[in-house]
Protein backbone atom coordinates (compact mmCIF):
# COMPACT_ATOMS: atom_id res chain seq x y z
CA UNK A 1 0.00 0.00 0.00
CA UNK A 2 1.19 3.50 -0.82
CA UNK A 3 1.26 5.89 2.13
CA UNK A 4 0.66 9.60 1.64
CA UNK A 5 0.65 12.38 4.20
CA UNK A 6 -2.41 14.60 4.22
CA UNK A 7 -1.02 17.90 5.45
CA UNK A 8 1.69 20.53 5.16
CA UNK A 9 3.75 19.74 8.27
CA UNK A 10 7.24 20.12 6.83
CA UNK A 11 9.22 18.45 9.62
CA UNK A 12 6.95 15.40 9.67
CA UNK A 13 7.09 15.08 5.89
CA UNK A 14 10.89 15.16 5.98
CA UNK A 15 10.96 12.51 8.70
CA UNK A 16 8.62 10.14 6.87
CA UNK A 17 10.44 10.70 3.59
CA UNK A 18 13.75 9.79 5.23
CA UNK A 19 12.17 6.52 6.37
CA UNK A 20 11.46 5.67 2.73
CA UNK A 21 7.73 5.06 3.25
CA UNK A 22 6.26 8.26 1.80
CA UNK A 23 4.64 8.14 -1.64
CA UNK A 24 3.48 11.74 -1.77
CA UNK A 25 1.56 14.56 -0.09
CA UNK A 26 -2.11 15.50 -0.32
CA UNK A 27 -3.46 18.92 0.60
CA UNK A 28 -6.75 20.77 0.71
CA UNK A 29 -7.60 24.46 0.25
CA UNK A 30 -7.92 25.03 4.00
CA UNK A 31 -4.38 23.79 4.63
CA UNK A 32 -2.90 25.88 1.82
CA UNK A 33 -4.81 28.99 2.89
CA UNK A 34 -3.05 29.01 6.26
CA UNK A 35 0.04 30.62 4.69
CA UNK A 36 1.35 31.67 1.27
CA UNK A 37 0.03 28.88 -1.01
CA UNK A 38 2.82 29.12 -3.60
CA UNK A 39 5.48 29.08 -0.91
CA UNK A 40 3.96 25.98 0.67
CA UNK A 41 3.66 24.22 -2.69
CA UNK A 42 7.29 24.97 -3.58
CA UNK A 43 8.45 23.62 -0.24
CA UNK A 44 6.34 20.46 -0.51
CA UNK A 45 7.86 19.78 -3.92
CA UNK A 46 11.40 20.39 -2.70
CA UNK A 47 11.45 18.30 0.49
CA UNK A 48 10.24 15.04 -1.09
CA UNK A 49 10.28 13.51 -4.56
CA UNK A 50 6.69 12.31 -4.81
CA UNK A 51 3.50 13.92 -6.11
CA UNK A 52 1.73 16.78 -4.37
CA UNK A 53 -2.07 16.67 -4.72
CA UNK A 54 -3.79 20.07 -4.85
CA UNK A 55 -7.53 20.63 -5.25
CA UNK A 56 -9.00 22.80 -8.00
CA UNK A 57 -11.62 25.30 -6.85
CA UNK A 58 -13.60 26.01 -10.00
CA UNK A 59 -17.34 25.45 -10.18
CA UNK A 60 -17.48 24.69 -13.90
CA UNK A 61 -15.77 22.23 -16.21
CA UNK A 62 -13.84 25.03 -17.90
CA UNK A 63 -12.61 26.50 -14.62
CA UNK A 64 -11.49 23.11 -13.33
CA UNK A 65 -9.59 22.34 -16.53
CA UNK A 66 -7.91 25.76 -16.55
CA UNK A 67 -6.82 25.38 -12.94
CA UNK A 68 -5.58 21.81 -13.49
CA UNK A 69 -3.49 22.95 -16.47
CA UNK A 70 -2.13 25.87 -14.44
CA UNK A 71 -1.06 23.52 -11.65
CA UNK A 72 0.58 21.20 -14.16
CA UNK A 73 2.62 24.11 -15.50
CA UNK A 74 3.99 24.77 -12.02
CA UNK A 75 5.22 21.17 -11.85
CA UNK A 76 4.39 17.88 -13.54
CA UNK A 77 4.50 16.37 -10.04
CA UNK A 78 1.42 18.31 -8.98
CA UNK A 79 -1.65 16.07 -9.03
CA UNK A 80 -4.84 18.11 -9.48
CA UNK A 81 -7.70 16.94 -7.27
CA UNK A 82 -11.02 17.03 -9.12
CA UNK A 83 -14.29 16.51 -7.19
CA UNK A 84 -16.57 13.75 -8.44
CA UNK A 85 -19.48 15.98 -9.47
CA UNK A 86 -21.09 16.31 -12.92
CA UNK A 87 -18.88 19.27 -13.89
CA UNK A 88 -15.86 17.52 -12.43
CA UNK A 89 -16.52 14.33 -14.37
CA UNK A 90 -16.69 16.30 -17.61
CA UNK A 91 -13.43 18.04 -16.70
CA UNK A 92 -11.76 14.71 -15.91
CA UNK A 93 -12.79 13.32 -19.29
CA UNK A 94 -11.00 16.16 -21.09
CA UNK A 95 -7.96 15.92 -18.83
CA UNK A 96 -7.66 12.23 -19.69
CA UNK A 97 -7.80 13.13 -23.38
CA UNK A 98 -4.90 15.52 -22.72
CA UNK A 99 -3.01 12.70 -20.91
CA UNK A 100 -2.92 14.77 -17.72
CA UNK A 101 -2.92 12.77 -14.48
CA UNK A 102 -5.29 13.74 -11.65
CA UNK A 103 -6.99 12.45 -8.52
CA UNK A 104 -10.78 12.11 -8.42
CA UNK A 105 -11.75 13.28 -4.96
CA UNK A 106 -14.46 14.09 -2.40
CA UNK A 107 -16.24 10.73 -2.77
CA UNK A 108 -18.59 10.26 0.18
CA UNK A 109 -21.37 8.22 -1.45
CA UNK A 110 -21.92 5.03 -3.42
CA UNK A 111 -23.25 6.94 -6.41
CA UNK A 112 -20.10 9.09 -6.59
CA UNK A 113 -17.92 6.00 -6.43
CA UNK A 114 -20.02 4.38 -9.16
CA UNK A 115 -19.64 7.43 -11.41
CA UNK A 116 -15.90 7.64 -10.82
CA UNK A 117 -15.39 4.06 -11.96
CA UNK A 118 -17.69 4.52 -14.94
CA UNK A 119 -15.63 7.56 -15.94
CA UNK A 120 -12.49 5.43 -15.86
CA UNK A 121 -10.55 7.81 -13.62
CA UNK A 122 -6.97 6.74 -12.79
CA UNK A 123 -7.39 7.09 -9.02
CA UNK A 124 -10.31 7.93 -6.73
CA UNK A 125 -10.20 9.10 -3.11
CA UNK A 126 -12.94 7.96 -0.74
CA UNK A 127 -13.52 10.23 2.27
CA UNK A 128 -14.02 7.69 5.04
CA UNK A 129 -14.41 10.21 7.86
CA UNK A 130 -17.14 12.15 6.07
CA UNK A 131 -18.89 8.87 5.25
CA UNK A 132 -18.80 7.99 8.97
CA UNK A 133 -20.22 11.41 9.85
CA UNK A 134 -23.40 10.38 8.03
CA UNK A 135 -23.74 7.43 10.41
CA UNK A 136 -22.48 4.88 7.90
CA UNK A 137 -19.77 2.25 8.16
CA UNK A 138 -16.85 3.27 5.88
CA UNK A 139 -16.11 -0.41 5.34
CA UNK A 140 -19.27 -0.58 3.25
CA UNK A 141 -18.00 2.11 0.89
CA UNK A 142 -14.59 0.47 0.55
CA UNK A 143 -16.16 -2.94 -0.04
CA UNK A 144 -18.47 -1.51 -2.71
CA UNK A 145 -15.55 0.11 -4.53
CA UNK A 146 -13.32 -2.97 -4.36
CA UNK A 147 -16.12 -5.23 -5.61
CA UNK A 148 -16.98 -2.87 -8.43
CA UNK A 149 -13.35 -2.77 -9.51
CA UNK A 150 -13.05 -6.56 -9.39
CA UNK A 151 -16.41 -7.42 -10.96
CA UNK A 152 -16.01 -5.16 -13.98
CA UNK A 153 -12.25 -5.11 -14.43
CA UNK A 154 -11.79 -1.40 -13.82
CA UNK A 155 -8.18 -0.17 -13.57
CA UNK A 156 -9.06 2.69 -11.22
CA UNK A 157 -6.88 2.79 -8.11
CA UNK A 158 -8.53 3.39 -4.74
CA UNK A 159 -7.23 5.80 -2.10
CA UNK A 160 -8.57 5.96 1.45
CA UNK A 161 -8.77 9.62 2.51
CA UNK A 162 -10.39 11.58 5.32
CA UNK A 163 -8.92 8.98 7.67
CA UNK A 164 -9.72 9.58 11.33
CA UNK A 165 -8.02 6.59 12.96
CA UNK A 166 -5.67 3.69 12.40
CA UNK A 167 -8.74 1.45 12.20
CA UNK A 168 -9.67 3.21 8.95
CA UNK A 169 -6.17 2.48 7.63
CA UNK A 170 -6.30 -1.16 8.67
CA UNK A 171 -9.72 -1.60 7.06
CA UNK A 172 -8.22 -0.34 3.83
CA UNK A 173 -5.46 -2.94 3.99
CA UNK A 174 -8.02 -5.69 4.60
CA UNK A 175 -9.80 -4.74 1.38
CA UNK A 176 -6.53 -4.45 -0.55
CA UNK A 177 -6.87 -0.84 -1.66
CA UNK A 178 -3.83 0.69 -3.28
CA UNK A 179 -3.17 3.78 -1.16
CA UNK A 180 -4.10 5.80 1.91
CA UNK A 181 -3.42 9.39 2.88
CA UNK A 182 -3.06 9.99 6.61
CA UNK A 183 -3.38 13.27 8.51
CA UNK A 184 -0.65 14.29 10.92
CA UNK A 185 -2.39 12.86 14.00
CA UNK A 186 -2.94 9.41 12.51
CA UNK A 187 0.55 9.24 10.98
CA UNK A 188 2.03 10.09 14.38
CA UNK A 189 -0.02 7.28 15.91
CA UNK A 190 1.36 4.92 13.28
CA UNK A 191 4.93 5.93 14.16
CA UNK A 192 4.45 5.74 17.94
CA UNK A 193 6.35 2.89 19.59
CA UNK A 194 4.07 0.78 21.83
CA UNK A 195 4.95 0.96 25.54
CA UNK A 196 5.43 -2.82 25.69
CA UNK A 197 8.05 -2.63 22.93
CA UNK A 198 9.92 0.20 24.70
CA UNK A 199 9.95 -1.79 27.94
CA UNK A 200 11.21 -4.91 26.16
CA UNK A 201 14.03 -2.98 24.48
CA UNK A 202 15.04 -1.40 27.78
CA UNK A 203 15.16 -4.87 29.36
CA UNK A 204 17.29 -6.21 26.50
CA UNK A 205 19.72 -3.31 26.86
CA UNK A 206 19.99 -3.81 30.60
CA UNK A 207 20.59 -7.56 30.28
CA UNK A 208 23.12 -7.10 27.50
CA UNK A 209 25.05 -4.16 28.92
CA UNK A 210 28.35 -5.98 29.64
CA UNK A 211 28.39 -7.90 26.38
CA UNK A 212 27.41 -4.79 24.48
CA UNK A 213 30.43 -2.98 25.89
CA UNK A 214 32.66 -5.86 24.81
CA UNK A 215 31.23 -6.02 21.30
CA UNK A 216 30.90 -2.36 20.45
CA UNK A 217 33.21 -0.35 22.71
CA UNK A 218 36.51 -2.33 22.93
CA UNK A 219 38.22 -1.19 19.78
CA UNK A 220 38.23 -3.93 17.15
CA UNK A 221 35.45 -6.31 18.05
CA UNK A 222 35.38 -10.01 17.09
CA UNK A 223 32.50 -9.13 14.74
CA UNK A 224 34.61 -6.58 12.86
CA UNK A 225 37.56 -8.96 12.68
CA UNK A 226 35.31 -11.68 11.32
CA UNK A 227 33.91 -9.37 8.66
CA UNK A 228 37.39 -8.19 7.72
CA UNK A 229 38.65 -11.73 7.18
CA UNK A 230 35.57 -12.84 5.24
pLDDT given for residue 193 in this prediction: 75
Question: CA separation (Å) from 44 to 38, 100, 103, 146, 185?
Answer: 10, 20, 17, 31, 19
Superfamily for the 2-191 domain: Aldolase class I (3.20.20.70)
Could you tell me which residues come within 8 angstroms of residue 99 by beta carbon, excluding any fewer than 6 positions away? none
Report the distance separating Cα 145 and Cα 229, nearest Å. 57
Exposure b/e, 175-207, CB count within 10 A at least 16 = b? eebebbbbbeebbeeeeeeeeeeeeeeeeeeee
pLDDT given for residue 27 in this prediction: 97
- Phi and psi dihedrals of 113, rounded to 5? -60, -45
Report the distance separating Cα 186 and Cα 20, nearest Å. 18
- Its pTM surpasses 0.85: yes
pLDDT given for residue 35 in this prediction: 82
What are the domain boundaries of the chain?
A: 2-191, 195-229
Determine contact, residues 113/141, Cβ cutoff 8 Å. Answer: yes
The number of CA neighbours under 13 Å toward the Cβ of 230 is 7
Q: Mind telling me the catalytic residues? A: 81
Report the distance separating Cα 39 and Cα 173, nearest Å. 34
pLDDT given for residue 140 in this prediction: 98
**Alpha helix stretches (DSSP H) within 24-182:** 29-32, 37-47, 61-74, 86-97, 110-118, 128-133, 138-152, 166-175
- pLDDT, averaged per 10 consecutive residues of the chain (230 residues), comes to 97 98 97 91 98 98 98 98 98 98 98 98 98 95 98 98 97 98 97 72 69 60 56
Report the distance separating Cα 20 and Cα 5, nearest Å. 13
User: Given its phi and psi angles, is residue 61 left (phi above 0), alpha (psi -120 to 50 degrees) or beta?
Assistant: alpha
Amino acid sequence: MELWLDGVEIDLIKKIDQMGILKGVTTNPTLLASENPMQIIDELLSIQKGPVAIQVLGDTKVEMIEQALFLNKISSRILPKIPVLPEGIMAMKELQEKNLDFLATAVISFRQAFLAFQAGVPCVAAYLGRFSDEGKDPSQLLEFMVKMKKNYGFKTRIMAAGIRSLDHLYKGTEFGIESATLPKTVFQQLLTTPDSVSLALQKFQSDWQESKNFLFERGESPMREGLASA
